[in-house]
Structure 1
Amino acid sequence: MVGRFEIQKDTVQVIAESAATHVGRIATIISGAVRDVTHEFGDWASDVFEMREAAGKADVARRAEEQ
């Protein structure tokens, strides 16, 4: 016969294992989301730099045509 203490111990163990599993899954989701958002910001910054460079080249070309 299983005693009350052992039943409680088993219950706590199952709850702890379940919590660890879910916390691990949540951490994986969050870290993936942070990675994806960081990647998107990096791509966006690259686009901005490219547009600034193109605008600068266009301005130089326009000034050269005016002279």
Structure 2
Amino acid sequence: MSDGHDHLSRGEIAKDALQAGAQATAHTVGEVTSIVTRAVGEVAAAVGGLATELFAIRDDVRRAAADQDGGTGGVQDGGGQGGDQGAV
């Protein structure tokens, strides 16, 4: 008769330990993948925002230069440095 305890063979114990380790590893890899995916998306958004700002600045500079060359008076300070680029 049985004494109420399950008796597992060494092979079953090793299999269970290996299975638990594999599951823990898979879970951790999934978490890290999710973190990296989110981070890559945030970096891409930040770089995209920077590119948008740089294009806007370039366009403002071109408009200011055109205003100055055309005599429309769009640029108050003739230095071309600093100043309020939003006044174009």
- TM-score category (smaller protein): over 0.9
What is the total number of aligned residue pairs between the two structures? 66
How do residues 25-36 of structure 1 correspond to structure 2 at under 5 angstroms? 25-36=31-42
**Displacement of 1:65 after TM fit?**
1.4
Does 2:57 match 1:51? yes
Give TM-score scaled by structure 1 length: 0.95
**Displacement of 1:5 after TM fit?**
0.3
Identity among equivalent positions (%) equals: 29
Select the structure that is richer in helix.
1
Q: Which has the higher contact order (CA 8 A, sep 6+)?
A: 2
Structure 1 residues without counterparts, runs of 5 or longer: none
Structure 1 outlier segments of 4+, above 4 Å = none
How do residues 1-67 of structure 1 correspond to structure 2 at under 5 angstroms? 1-65=7-71
**Displacement of 1:57 after TM fit?**
0.3
